[in-house]
Amino acid sequence: MAVAGLPAVVARNDLPERVTICEVGPRDGLQNESAIVPVGVKLEFLDRLVAAGHRVVEATSFVHPKWVPQLADAEELLSALDRHPGVRYPVLVPNAKGLSRALAAGVDEIAIFGSATETFAQRNLNRSVAESIEMFAPVVATARDRGLRVRAYLSMCFGDPWEGPVPLRQVADAAVALMSLGCTELSLGDTIGVATPGQVRALLHAVSDAGVGLEQVAVHFHDTYGQALANTLAALESGISIVDASAGGLGGCPYAESATGNLATEDLVWQLDGLGIETGVDLGTLVETSVWMARQLGRPSPSRVVQALGG
Amino acid sequence: MAVAGLPAVVARNDLPERVTICEVGPRDGLQNESAIVPVGVKLEFLDRLVAAGHRVVEATSFVHPKWVPQLADAEELLSALDRHPGVRYPVLVPNAKGLSRALAAGVDEIAIFGSATETFAQRNLNRSVAESIEMFAPVVATARDRGLRVRAYLSMCFGDPWEGPVPLRQVADAAVALMSLGCTELSLGDTIGVATPGQVRALLHAVSDAGVGLEQVAVHFHDTYGQALANTLAALESGISIVDASAGGLGGCPYAESATGNLATEDLVWQLDGLGIETGVDLGTLVETSVWMARQLGRPSPSRVVQALGG
């Protein structure tokens, strides 16, 4: 598919030359869709994303199927997956049990998920922030001993629906605690999508000041209030070069009452292409993939770029 | 309506303390909606926008009703409108005939619309760029003689569907030509929504270098590819403090095949509130207004903020 954008403008000095996109559609996206997608469709989705140029694709989750029935086929998916050389396929792991399943499936990268707030830690992990770090410690240690990379998500980094604004220091402390376990990458999440660019800059400054190198840090924005792409720009200007995004904006339908959608990878790639920042991802192939996936799910993609180009 | 945002972060030095929003929903928005709205609804819409804190509201258009039947009631609307002191109500005027109608209706600000490209000038104005400047010259002169302010729109400032990318110099020349007529404000439009932040910075630099003071310049972005808010951020960092936006994203439905929506005012205000930039606009009142207007139009607002808060 030909895409008629403008010629790129040479990037400013404070922007990275290259951005690594962590494509979270197959996991974070599909687990938040109401439809349950057959494993064959998931496999084709993964293959298409890699064909579009993605080199980091979050494949699935070993959270108990009781909680995430959408991804109950994790073992089946991974045993059938044709893993392309040079492509990372992180897999979400909630605890030691999940790690055992992941190791048995032969993954070479896991992702764990922590919380910056006590309320969300209790609700999502059934323990305090400190207790969750304790729980993750042996998981990360074992994974690293086996030579796996470990991606750590940190949720509710800006606002929390129960606690409101989250103090910078609290987020920075949780970030340091996770990285001290030996994680190789940290993804800072604006889980409810409330942040604006000044807050993004302030948090990245605080995290960096606390000793976490920004070359290891990803940002994970939600488009609930339409801020994801402006926040991404602020993050790139602050030293970030890893961005999470979800093909077609999968994961939370904006037509629903409470929109919770992930940043759409296509909208991100349009911006990065225009800024002259390399991603390796071909926008046209990605749009075709999201048009195809929207057909599988039986609803239009919320991505503006997919809506504009996918007709 | 209570709105739970984050506390604002102190604005960076390169951001303005205050932004003037030019609310274009009643004109640019409604003229691009398929539904024709009764004059009573338009009057209530204008009143609600002012009650929300807007101080610049584009009220209607004197383009011939054959071309814009949605706004055929311009005279009726203006004669019934309760104009609030301190509020500017620019009215679109295409030519000398339109100016006569506007003067008869007692407006104190008009807006004219030029094109940065020859193809769009021919299609929209039925003449070349140079001929359109000639046509506007006596319109602006007469308006200024009568003490009216004149806002000049410049369309297709980044990309054009027929000509592709638009050279910076070409846009800067058209900008200078319009301002040389005596216009008081210039609104640079990304009519097809293709721009990204680097291109925004480059154009504003070129326009400023050509002698147009950025304190007179507004930006007018479309969210066709989801870039409007990131582009706005880049514009604010480049010295812009006037931003056009449309309440609820009126004007081009994103659910249609080719999305052409204006930047939603609510999404803009969320960002500016978060950045600690004053606008005078109350987000909750504005969201209520757009929820009400969506009901009049019989379709949901494409604004992410309205979708998230308006349920």
pLDDT at A214 over 50: yes
Give B144's strand partners: none
Nearest-angstrom CA–CA distance, A267 and A230: 11
Among B166, B229, B269, which would you mutate to test the A interface (most chain A Cβ atoms within 10 Å of its Cβ)? B229
pLDDT of residue B295: 95
User: What residue in B sits closest to A300 (Cα-Cα)?
Assistant: B255
Total count of residues recorded for chain A: 311
**Cβ–Cβ under 8 Å, residues A171 and A204:** no
pLDDT of residue B254: 43
**Cβ–Cβ under 8 Å, residues A171 and A127:** no
- Asked whether the beta carbons of residue A195 and residue B271 sit closer than 8 angstroms, the reply is no
> What is the 8-class DSSP label of residue B20?
E
pLDDT of residue B156: 96
Among B227, B237, B291, which would you mutate to test the A interface (most chain A Cβ atoms within 10 Å of its Cβ)? B227
Distance from CA of A224 to the nearest CA of B (A): 6
Over residues A244-283, the pLDDT tens digits come to 999 999 986 444 444 468 999 999 999 999 999 999 999 9
Among A10, A260, A301, A304, which would you mutate to test the B interface (most chain B Cβ atoms within 10 Å of its Cβ)? A304
User: What residue in A sits closest to B311 (Cα-Cα)?
Assistant: A257
- Asked whether the beta carbons of residue A225 and residue B275 sit closer than 8 angstroms, the reply is no
- Chain A residues within an 8 Å CB radius of B195: 6, 274
Distance from CA of B260 to the nearest CA of A (A): 8
* pLDDT above 90 as % of chain A: 86
- Asked whether the beta carbons of residue B259 and residue A304 sit closer than 8 angstroms, the reply is yes
Nearest-angstrom CA–CA distance, B47 and B84: 9
pLDDT higher at A26 or B257: A26
3-state secondary structure of A125: helix
- Chain A residues within an 8 Å CB radius of B232: 230
* pLDDT above 70 as % of chain A: 93
pLDDT of residue B261: 84
pLDDT of residue A189: 97
pLDDT at B1 over 50: no
**Cβ–Cβ under 8 Å, residues B238 and B273:** no
Nearest-angstrom CA–CA distance, A80 and A68: 20
Over residues B34-91, the pLDDT tens digits come to 888 999 999 999 999 999 999 999 999 999 999 889 999 999 999 999 999 999 999 9
**Cβ–Cβ under 8 Å, residues B95 and B112:** no
Nearest-angstrom CA–CA distance, B221 and B188: 8
pLDDT at B249 over 60: yes
Q: Which residues contact A31 (CB under 8 A, 6 or more apart)?
A: A61, A68, A70, A71, A251
- Asked whether the beta carbons of residue A271 and residue B10 sit closer than 8 angstroms, the reply is no
Over residues B11-25, the pLDDT tens digits come to 556 899 999 999 999
- The interaxial angle of helices B265-274 and B228-237, nearest 10 deg, is 40
Average pLDDT, chain B: 93
Distance from CA of A238 to the nearest CA of B (A): 13
Q: Which two tokens stand for residue A126?
A: 């059934």
Which residue out of A22, A157, A183, A253 is catalytically annotated? A253
Q: Which fold has domain B20-309?
A: TIM Barrel (3.20.20)
Distance from CA of B266 to the nearest CA of A (A): 9
Over residues A167-195, the pLDDT tens digits come to 999 999 999 999 999 999 999 999 999 99
Give B278's strand partners: B18
- DSSP codes joined into one string, A213-272: -GGGEEEEEB-TTS-HHHHHHHHHHTT--EEEEBGGG-SS-TTSSS--PBPBHHHHHHHH
The minimal CB distance from A233 to the residues B158, B197, B258 is found for B197
CA angle B76, B77, B80 (to 5 degrees): 85
pLDDT of residue A23: 98
Long-range contacts of A294-301, Cβ-Cβ distance < 8 Å, separation of 24 or more: A294/A248, A296/A35, A296/A37, A296/A41, A297/A33, A297/A35, A297/A37, A297/A250, A298/A35, A299/A253, A299/A255, A300/B255, A301/A248, A301/A249, A301/A250, A301/A264
The minimal CB distance from B275 to the residues A9, A198, A275 is found for A198
How does residue B257 score in pLDDT terms, banded at 50, 70 and 90? very low
pLDDT at A1 over 50: no
Element at A39 (helix H, strand E)? helix A39-51
The minimal CB distance from A271 to the residues B11, B230, B305 is found for B230
CA neighbor of B223 nearest in space, from A291, A229, A285: A229
Q: In this predicted complex, what is the ipTM?
A: 0.92
User: What residue in B sits closest to A200 (Cα-Cα)?
Assistant: B9
- Chain A residues within an 8 Å CB radius of B4: 159, 164, 194
Over residues A9-34, the pLDDT tens digits come to 655 668 999 999 999 999 999 998 88
Q: Which two tokens stand for residue B18?
A: 């205050």
CA atoms within 13 A on the CB side of A187: 28
How does residue B193 score in pLDDT terms, banded at 50, 70 and 90? very high
- DSSP codes joined into one string, A138-152: HHHHHHHHTT-EEEE
pLDDT at A120 over 80: yes
User: What residue in A sits closest to B203 (Cα-Cα)?
Assistant: A9
pLDDT of residue A261: 84
For B164-200, b/e burial (b = at least 16 CB within 10 A) is: eebebebbbbbbebbbebebebbbbbbbbbbbbbbbb
Q: How many CB atoms lie within 10 A of CB B42?
A: 25
Residues of B annotated as part of the active site: 253
CA neighbor of A181 nearest in space, from A154, A219, A155: A154
Burial of B106 (0-12, 13-18, 19+ CB in 10 A): exposed
Q: Where are the domains of chain A?
A: 20-309
The minimal CB distance from B6 to the residues A159, A255, A264 is found for A159
φ/ψ of residue A49, rounded to 5:
-65, -40
pLDDT of residue A176: 98
- Asked whether the beta carbons of residue B201 and residue A229 sit closer than 8 angstroms, the reply is no
- Chain A residues within an 8 Å CB radius of B9: 196, 198-199, 201-202
The minimal CB distance from A202 to the residues B9, B267, B304 is found for B9
Distance from CA of B275 to the nearest CA of A (A): 6
- Asked whether the beta carbons of residue A271 and residue B308 sit closer than 8 angstroms, the reply is no
